[in-house]
Amino acid sequence: MTPKLTLNMIRHTLPLGLALASMLPTYAATFDKEERAVATHSEYRFKLPDSPDGLARFSTVAYPYAGANVYTIRGKNIAVAGDRIIDLDINPAGFNYIVVTVNKKGRTNAKVYGTDRPNHRLYKHNTKKLGSPTAACYTPDALNILLATADSVLRTIDSRSFKMVDEMPLEHRVTDMTLSSNRYHLATTDGANVTVYNFEDKSVRHKWDFEGGVKEILFSDDDTEFAVLTDDGMLSIYDTRTFMIKNTVEDLGDGMSASYNFDSKYIAVAKSPTDIVIVNLLDPEEDREIVSVPDGKLKDVLFLPDSRKNTLLAYTTHKAMDVKRMYHLTPYYTKLIDDEVNRKMNEWLKMMPGETLEEYQLRVNDETRAAHRRLLEDEAATRLAPDMVAMAEITLGQYDERHGLLEVDFNNMPAIYLPVPQSDITAFTNPEDLTFTNAKYTVTSGDKFELIYAEVLNAADGKTYIYDNVDRVPLNFMQNDEEEDIVSLELIQQQQMEELKLREIQEQVVEEAKSQNVISDHTNITVATEVEPDYDANGNKILNYKVRFTYEVDPGFTAQEDFGPGKYRIEQSGAAKSMLELVKKSLDGELARYIAAGKKLNVRISGTADSSPIVGRIIYDGIYGEFIDEPVYNNGDMTGITVTPKGRITQNEQLAFLRAQGVKGFLQENIKELQDMRTSYRIDINVAEGKGSQFRRITTELTFVDAF
């Protein structure tokens, strides 16, 4: 049985799907003359039989719908729903999608279509039994459909069997709804009222009455913001920890549709049938851009990231969908810096090999930790910054005689105050005489670069002057309360002691495996821990405990000690067996204190394979069960995968998936206590570009939520 195609697989092919990110450069040559006349280097037009009513997003793809029809961007009809579509959502794993329709008499219904072929209807909602649907969306894990009905009930339906698995009452009738990607919050609206629920315990987090005119409700991709767009041109943005107002953006016209950019720095708003406004949410009054839609018919707008995290803007127009590359939108530098610094700080906080506790406590304390973080922030900002000084127009401002400071102004960043003795000030007459070297930068709260250090040579007198402002307030702009986001040194020291004990267990497991000739010195098994600040669905600060187990086998020895070509059963890999023995002993011993009934545990298992082509027939013996449209992450993108005993293994992705499933099966069978926890499993599969058995390995990551 050949693995079923999904949207994620077919988005690079015609006619059923097309990834905008890969299609724009590759297929530009196929446009006809009329399309070429419209297209430029930054804008492409995809003609459609009708003017679209809206767009639905799947990964890097936008699918338009008009009337009763769902189209590809090539205008190929993939579904005829019969009645007018009022809502469309695509399964995050890409194996099906749902439409909510309304007929001329106002009666609604919902249908689910498969993506393996056009008009392949899988499910039709039973309105007499379950109520008339009004809005629908998928859960981020792709496993369930959320269907709101006219009787103000939310019904949860399995996305493959289509059986109802849960229901919850709603505060009001729902015309639109959205679920945050972390599954914490469900937001609903009836066009006037907006309600946000804690989706975990089905309680109400917050309610608003906008007295009509709600046009869009949406969460930012990082789940830190919730936005409500109203038809009076007002965008209200709330912090999802507290749901208190965080920001308002005005003058957005009719407020027809909105979309966050993937890093949440920008938002696009359809303000009229002919205009889109792009707003920098960090500088909403000054940093705005209008994208004109001369043909009109603008109804919906979507930001899309391409595979390289560049930004695309897709929007509806007259019998077409246009796509524009937004090269000029700057990245969210503060987030990039924060992510990099957090990674490096986690490494710096670990005890070094051979380092005693006394030495560790001397090296790592509150003062040194703050200083090291500030150093890493400056290094990251300087690495990201372009040569701001070379790009700037420089002018000389006022001289403060009392403090001996000369104002140096730049047109692209804040001014600096250069220490210059009064006796030297007469030499500063021409800014072109100044040469800046060894420049260091930081990022301001507005996500703009600022000079904090430079050596300035004045050619007029041959002297070098030092500007040094490295002791400014640290970054940490990402946190509302910096102190709340810092893990105490006592807890970090506890974590480090625990990691040392886990390493002792690791050494025991490795030595035992070597004595039994399961592995040799060519297999390196590692364990690492991390305390991760986080917030729960009610906005309370929590600390998660992350434990990561992995292994590497030296090239040339992997076929003997790890998975051989075409192998996937855990017992066929000495390295995988040894790693899982370490996992079991750690959970039975040092980590047992974190196992408790009802507590949350997130398990992330990564299985990898090399890119060697599969030649011949690899039989799947069904040891781990049957999988049809199973949601997985393939190289970071969610997709669906099918592996059955009746079929055969034809793709390396299937091998990687089965290796990860072996780990999941081991945990479920050998650590029974995990079944009493609220345990969720995420499977990541990766196919390396290289060929060779050294690319076949498994990583297991356990995150104990609210562990301390």
Q: How confident is the model at residue 154 (pLDDT cuts 50, 70, 90)?
A: very high
Q: DSSP class of residue 344?
A: H
Structure tokens at 636: 């970071």
> Residue 473: pLDDT above 50?
no
Is 255:232 a contact under the CB 8 Å cutoff? yes
As a whole number, mean pLDDT of residues 283-311 equals: 90
The C-alpha atoms of residue 235 and residue 233 are separated, in whole angstroms, by 7
599 three-state secondary structure: coil
> Residue 539: pLDDT above 60?
yes
> In what helix (H) or strand (E) does residue 542 lie, and over which residues does it extend?
strand 541-553
As a whole number, mean pLDDT of residues 264-275 equals: 96
Q: How confident is the model at residue 648 (pLDDT cuts 50, 70, 90)?
A: confident
CA-nearest of 181, 186, 17 to 95 is 17
As a whole number, mean pLDDT of residues 649-667 equals: 93
Higher-pLDDT residue of 490, 145 = 145
Q: CB neighbours of 437 closer than 8 A, spacing ≥ 6?
A: 454, 455, 457
As a whole number, mean pLDDT of residues 204-214 equals: 95
Burial class (CB in 10 A: 0-12, 13-18, 19+), 173: middle
Q: How confident is the model at residue 697 (pLDDT cuts 50, 70, 90)?
A: confident
pLDDT in tens, 92-113: 999 999 999 999 999 999 999 9
pLDDT in tens, 513-536: 999 999 999 999 999 999 999 999
> Residue 20: pLDDT above 70?
no
pLDDT in tens, 681-696: 999 998 877 666 666 6
> Residue 54: pLDDT above 80?
yes
* Average pLDDT of every residue of the chain: 88
pLDDT score of 487: 80
Q: How confident is the model at residue 486 (pLDDT cuts 50, 70, 90)?
A: low
pLDDT in tens, 40-52: 334 789 999 999 9
Strand extents, DSSP E, 120-184:
120-124, 133-138, 144-149, 153-158, 164-169, 176-179
pLDDT score of 37: 34
pLDDT in tens, 387-420: 999 999 999 999 999 999 999 999 999 999 999 9
DSSP assignment of 48-114: -SS--SEEEEETTEEEEEETTEEE-TT--EEEE-SSEEEEEEE-TTSSEEEEEEE-TTS-EEEEEEE
pLDDT score of 694: 61
As beta bridge partners, residue 698 has 607
> Residue 475: pLDDT above 80?
no
Tell me which amino acid residue 98 is: I
> Residue 24: pLDDT above 70?
no
As a whole number, mean pLDDT of residues 347-360 equals: 89
Burial class (CB in 10 A: 0-12, 13-18, 19+), 424: middle
As a whole number, mean pLDDT of residues 424-439 equals: 96
> Residue 269: pLDDT above 90?
yes
Helices (H), 301-365: 333-348, 357-363
Higher-pLDDT residue of 37, 630 = 630
> Residue 266: pLDDT above 80?
yes
> Residue 610: pLDDT above 90?
no
**296-334 as b/e: b if 16+ CB within 10 A:** ebbbbbbbbbbeeeebbbbbbbbbbbbbbbbeebeebbb
Place of tokens 């990691």: 499
Q: CB neighbours of 105 closer than 8 A, spacing ≥ 6?
A: none
Q: What is the DSSP pairing of strand 144-149 with strand 257-260?
A: unpaired
DSSP assignment of 168-208: EE-SS--SEEEE-TTSSEEEEESSSEEEEEETTTTEEEEEE
Q: How confident is the model at residue 13 (pLDDT cuts 50, 70, 90)?
A: very low
> Residue 587: pLDDT above 50?
yes
What does the chain come to in residues? 708
319 three-state secondary structure: coil
Least confident of 73-82, 117-126, 171-180: 73-82
Structure tokens at 83: 């009645």
Structure tokens at 202: 């089905």
The C-alpha atoms of residue 557 and residue 576 are separated, in whole angstroms, by 14
pLDDT score of 75: 84
The reported pTM is 0.88
pLDDT score of 1: 37
As a whole number, mean pLDDT of residues 129-145 equals: 96
Least confident of 276-285, 319-328, 490-499: 490-499
Is 227:258 a contact under the CB 8 Å cutoff? yes
As a whole number, mean pLDDT of residues 654-682 equals: 94
CA distances from 676 to 306, 589, 680, 703 (A): 40, 18, 12, 16
CA-nearest of 543, 536, 548, 608 to 573 is 608
> Residue 86: pLDDT above 90?
yes
> In what helix (H) or strand (E) does residue 383 lie, and over which residues does it extend?
helix 366-384
The C-alpha atoms of residue 476 and residue 337 are separated, in whole angstroms, by 10
Q: Three-state secondary structure along 504-523? A: HHHHHHHHHHHHCCCCCCCE
Q: How many CB atoms lie within 10 A of CB 603?
A: 19
pLDDT score of 693: 60
> Residue 162: pLDDT above 60?
yes
